Amino acid sequence: MFYRILCLSIIFLAHVLIILFCELGDFHLNISFLLNWVSLFVILYFHLIRDKEFSPYISSYLVFGYLFFLVSPMYQIYTGVFPNTYPIKINEVVKLNFYILIWNTNFLIAYQIIKKRKKKKLDRGWEVANIQKDNYLIYLTTLTALSLLIILFFQDFIIDKLLYHNNGFQKYSVVKSLIIRKSFFIIPFIGFLYSIVFLRQNRNQHEKWKFVLLLSILLLFLLILVKNPMLAKRNAIGPLIITIFVFIIPKWFNKNIRFLFFLLLSMVVGFPLVSIFTHSKHGIVETILKPFDFLKEIASRDLLRELLTLHYDAYSNILATMEYINSYGIVLGEQLQGSLLFFVPRSLWTDKPVKTGKLIGKHLMDNYNMEFDNLSNPLLSEGLISLGAFSLFLFPVVLAFLVVKMLQWQYSKDFFKQVVAIYFSIYLIFILRGDLSSSLSFFTGTFIGVYLIPKGLFFLLGKILQFKKVK
């Protein structure tokens, strides 16, 4: 307890110094950001002091709020520029901070109330579910074989992406590319995690542990092949890597304060470095021929100036959305409907709404000289454009319900539910950042590959094995 209180005190003093010394030139502006910080600090207090369960979702919520709704907008206003070219308007910023205060307050209240209903089940320490030994080798071998077949079948896709950065001999549609990358290429990940957790739990006790180790090495190679900075974006790689860490060394990560600081460090240092590769316009061939170009880019990376890039445009995109609403009004659920029904193709739904990020991006291009329209749009903004101020009460409650549901999955005895839950806890940062349509489609694809395919495969194998025993 003393350790947690000490860390909380240090965080408190650090925030006070930031607020005092980062003078933004307007009293109301400073007060609004101070209230924004207070709402986050109250959530932090509950997370580190009051709550007993390991809840990585709240860590992600805090990291997102701290970086995207406090530090980055304050620094952007201090330097006098928003990354999405939207002009700084003090009154709108103060109004948005008031919205954020309402959102954070409603989320905290809803989360605490909903969680109390399951309190007895969540008070115990979190542990990784035990993997059953019965038929384990058959299940793991099948997952490995499926991973190999998928990679062999889509080898042209991998070669095109990996070596030529999508400039090779074949093009893929957006839908096909999404299914391949999010659902099929995730199979080596769940296979590797399934094998490595089994080895950690059984060590040398299993008679064929060497064979399991061999399969885990093969699956790791396949995972690196299909989930690397040249083939996948950081919002896909980051959650996978952190999920693996949590399951390999859970005793280190299953404390809220440790996970919070690790996630914050990953976002501030790790993700900007990974983005050098994920946003590169060259494949491995050109990287090998011109390696010094990447070394120079890494050496010249200014982590503080990252706050002025489009990676941190969430806050200013909400401001642009608020202006859009003032000009055209709310869309009465139209954008929300398009996001929830992302799987319906435009060939069947001809007037399907464009993504909110693209809609606001077009608005910025028409009015503020923005160069392209492929922008993020935070969950708060999605609510405002679809339901107006009512969303400040509805969306946080729905989010709190989903978080508690995932918390239940995390504390279940089902290994695959736990993987989905931990992955969701990290991916929550990207859901909050938006846009909603992309976030839902990407997570749904991952859910199919991590949960539905393995569970369905194991169910069929179990029935086949049971039938053979009866016969």
pLDDT digits (tens, 9 = 90+) for 194-223: 999 988 887 766 567 788 889 999 999 988
The answer to whether 187 and 451 have CB atoms below 8 angstroms apart is no
What does 154-216 look like in DSSP terms, one character per residue?
THHHHHHHHHHTT-SS----HHHHHIIIIIITTHHHHHHHHHHHHHHHHTT-STTHHHHHHHH
Write the single-letter amino acid at 259: F
- Residue 208's contacts (CB-CB under 8 Å, 6 or more residues apart) are 137
Q: For 268-292, what is each residue's pLDDT tens digit? A: 776 666 655 555 554 554 555 555 5
pLDDT over 70 at 391, yes or no? yes
pLDDT at 339: 81
**Rounded CA gap, 283 and 288, in Å?**
9
Residue 310: closest CA among 320, 298, 300: 320
According to the model, what pLDDT value does residue 264 have? 87
Q: Residue 75 CB: number of other CB atoms within 10 A? A: 16
Which pLDDT does position 398 carry in this prediction?
Answer: 95
Asked whether residue 405 carries a pLDDT value surpassing 90, the answer given is yes
pLDDT attached to residue 379: 92
Distance CA 347, CA 178 (A): 17
Q: Residue 16 has what pLDDT?
A: 62
CA distance 317 to 319: 5
If you average pLDDT over residues 74-82, what whole number do you get?
87
Provide the sign of the torsion angle of the four alpha carbons 275, 279, 284, 285, taken in this order. negative
Which percentage of the chain shows pLDDT scores above 90?
32
Contact 279, 311 (CB under 8 A): no
% of the chain with per-residue pLDDT over 70: 79
The total of other beta-carbon atoms located within 10 Å of residue 465's CB is: 14
Q: How confident is the model at residue 318 (pLDDT cuts 50, 70, 90)?
A: very high
pLDDT category at 168 given cuts 50, 70, 90 is: very low
pLDDT reported for residue 466 = 74
Task: Tell me the per-residue pLDDT of 344-359, one tens digit each, with 9 for 90 and over.
Answer: 777 778 788 888 888 8
pLDDT at 204 (0 to 100): 64
